[in-house]
Protein backbone atom coordinates (compact mmCIF):
# COMPACT_ATOMS: atom_id res chain seq x y z
CA UNK A 1 0.00 0.00 0.00
CA UNK A 2 1.32 3.39 -1.03
CA UNK A 3 0.19 6.91 -0.35
CA UNK A 4 0.83 9.72 -2.82
CA UNK A 5 0.11 13.38 -2.15
CA UNK A 6 0.47 15.79 -5.08
CA UNK A 7 -0.36 19.45 -5.54
CA UNK A 8 -2.08 19.98 -8.87
CA UNK A 9 -2.67 23.41 -10.42
CA UNK A 10 -6.41 23.18 -11.09
CA UNK A 11 -8.50 26.18 -12.14
CA UNK A 12 -12.09 25.12 -11.52
CA UNK A 13 -14.41 22.25 -10.55
CA UNK A 14 -14.32 20.85 -14.06
CA UNK A 15 -10.54 20.39 -13.84
CA UNK A 16 -10.89 18.81 -10.38
CA UNK A 17 -13.39 16.24 -11.55
CA UNK A 18 -11.34 15.52 -14.68
CA UNK A 19 -8.17 14.99 -12.62
CA UNK A 20 -9.96 12.67 -10.21
CA UNK A 21 -11.46 10.71 -13.13
CA UNK A 22 -8.00 10.33 -14.72
CA UNK A 23 -6.41 9.08 -11.49
CA UNK A 24 -9.28 6.76 -10.58
CA UNK A 25 -8.79 4.96 -13.88
CA UNK A 26 -5.46 3.48 -12.76
CA UNK A 27 -5.38 -0.11 -11.57
CA UNK A 28 -4.86 -0.57 -7.84
CA UNK A 29 -6.12 2.84 -6.66
CA UNK A 30 -7.85 2.22 -3.33
CA UNK A 31 -8.96 5.66 -2.23
CA UNK A 32 -8.84 9.12 -3.70
CA UNK A 33 -9.45 12.47 -2.06
CA UNK A 34 -9.05 16.11 -3.05
CA UNK A 35 -8.43 19.08 -0.78
CA UNK A 36 -10.22 21.96 -2.50
CA UNK A 37 -8.35 24.78 -0.75
CA UNK A 38 -4.80 23.65 -1.42
CA UNK A 39 -5.54 21.61 -4.57
CA UNK A 40 -3.83 18.60 -2.98
CA UNK A 41 -4.77 15.22 -4.37
CA UNK A 42 -4.24 12.23 -2.08
CA UNK A 43 -4.14 8.77 -3.64
CA UNK A 44 -3.67 5.55 -1.70
CA UNK A 45 -3.63 1.91 -2.72
CA UNK A 46 -1.44 -0.52 -4.60
CA UNK A 47 -0.53 1.51 -7.70
CA UNK A 48 2.49 2.96 -9.52
CA UNK A 49 2.99 6.59 -8.35
CA UNK A 50 5.26 7.42 -11.29
CA UNK A 51 2.54 6.62 -13.82
CA UNK A 52 -0.03 8.66 -11.91
CA UNK A 53 2.21 11.73 -11.69
CA UNK A 54 3.23 11.46 -15.36
CA UNK A 55 -0.41 11.28 -16.44
CA UNK A 56 -1.33 14.33 -14.33
CA UNK A 57 1.65 16.30 -15.67
CA UNK A 58 0.42 15.85 -19.23
CA UNK A 59 -2.53 18.15 -18.48
CA UNK A 60 -1.66 20.20 -15.37
CA UNK A 61 1.35 21.54 -13.51
CA UNK A 62 1.96 19.00 -10.74
CA UNK A 63 4.25 19.04 -7.67
CA UNK A 64 4.89 15.94 -5.59
CA UNK A 65 4.32 16.65 -1.91
CA UNK A 66 4.99 13.18 -0.50
CA UNK A 67 5.23 9.54 -1.50
CA UNK A 68 5.43 6.70 0.98
CA UNK A 69 3.76 3.72 2.55
CA UNK A 70 0.18 4.09 3.70
CA UNK A 71 -0.74 3.43 7.30
CA UNK A 72 -0.85 -0.33 7.74
CA UNK A 73 -3.05 -0.12 10.84
CA UNK A 74 -6.08 0.87 8.78
CA UNK A 75 -5.66 -2.10 6.44
CA UNK A 76 -5.17 -4.58 9.27
CA UNK A 77 -8.14 -3.15 11.15
CA UNK A 78 -10.32 -3.56 8.06
CA UNK A 79 -9.08 -7.13 7.53
CA UNK A 80 -9.88 -7.95 11.17
CA UNK A 81 -13.41 -6.61 10.74
CA UNK A 82 -13.92 -8.70 7.61
CA UNK A 83 -12.60 -11.80 9.40
CA UNK A 84 -15.02 -11.21 12.28
CA UNK A 85 -17.94 -10.85 9.87
CA UNK A 86 -16.99 -14.08 8.12
CA UNK A 87 -16.79 -15.95 11.44
CA UNK A 88 -20.17 -14.59 12.51
CA UNK A 89 -21.70 -15.53 9.15
CA UNK A 90 -20.31 -19.05 9.33
CA UNK A 91 -21.60 -19.46 12.89
CA UNK A 92 -25.08 -18.23 11.98
CA UNK A 93 -25.39 -19.96 8.62
CA UNK A 94 -23.63 -23.22 9.34
CA UNK A 95 -23.51 -25.85 6.64
CA UNK A 96 -26.20 -28.47 7.29
CA UNK A 97 -25.02 -32.02 7.75
CA UNK A 98 -26.84 -34.50 5.53
CA UNK A 99 -26.77 -38.23 6.13
CA UNK A 100 -27.59 -40.62 3.37
CA UNK A 101 -29.01 -44.03 4.24
CA UNK A 102 -28.58 -46.72 1.65
CA UNK A 103 -31.20 -49.50 1.96
CA UNK A 104 -29.74 -52.99 2.26
CA UNK A 105 -29.75 -54.94 -0.95
CA UNK A 106 -32.11 -57.85 -1.10
CA UNK A 107 -30.55 -60.99 -2.48
CA UNK A 108 -33.13 -63.73 -3.14
CA UNK A 109 -30.53 -66.46 -3.74
CA UNK A 110 -28.93 -66.14 -0.32
CA UNK A 111 -30.20 -68.49 2.37
CA UNK A 112 -28.98 -68.29 5.90
CA UNK A 113 -29.28 -71.56 7.74
Higher pLDDT, 112 or 47: 47
CA 43/CA 70 separation, integer angstroms: 10
pLDDT in tens, 80-110: 777 777 777 666 666 666 766 666 666 556 5
User: For the chain, what is the mean pLDDT?
Assistant: 80
CA 91/CA 84 separation, integer angstroms: 11
In this structure, the chain runs to a length of 113
Closest to 63 (Cα-Cα) out of 47, 32, 41: 41
Q: What is the pTM of this model?
A: 0.60
CA 90/CA 77 separation, integer angstroms: 20
Amino acid sequence: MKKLVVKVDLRDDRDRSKAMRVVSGFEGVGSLSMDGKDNKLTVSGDFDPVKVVNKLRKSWYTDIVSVGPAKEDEGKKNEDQVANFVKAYEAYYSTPVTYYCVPPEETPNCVIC
